[in-house]
Amino acid sequence: MDDTGTRGYINRKDDYLRRLRRIEGQARGLQRMSEEEKYCIDILTQVSAMTKALQSVSLGLLDEHLNHCVVEAAAKGGREADEKIKEASDAIARLVRS
């Protein structure tokens, strides 16, 4: 956990909130399609679109994390830098494998 108050995405928080609200809307849309017994392939197409939207949110968050938290920790060096890199690598592995 980090407690330095550095949050890379804060400058673009409104953008992320807007994208996450749209993703929430997609999740509701999927429930409606399923409720109305829409065709499975059409539901799957919506799931793929939603997955792509989520992936794009993660890549954005990760980029800002590298640009802020990781760069700052690296500039300080030492154990904190190592830990931040380890943490970022683990998050990247989770994204690539999910």
Residues 51-90 that bind a second copy (CB under 8 A): 51-52, 54-55, 57-59, 61-67, 69-71, 74-75, 77, 81-82, 85, 87-89
What is the SS3 assignment for 77? coil
| CA 7 to mean position of chain CA atoms | 14
Q: Tell the smallest beta-carbon distance from residue 6 to a second copy (Å).
A: 9
Q: Find out whether 12 and 64 touch, Cβ atoms under 8 Å.
A: yes
Contact residues toward a second copy (CB under 8 A) are: 1-2, 7-10, 13, 16-17, 20-21, 23-24, 27-28, 30-31, 34-35, 37-45, 47-48, 50-52, 54-55, 57-59, 61-67, 69-71, 74-75, 77, 81-82, 85, 87-89, 91-98
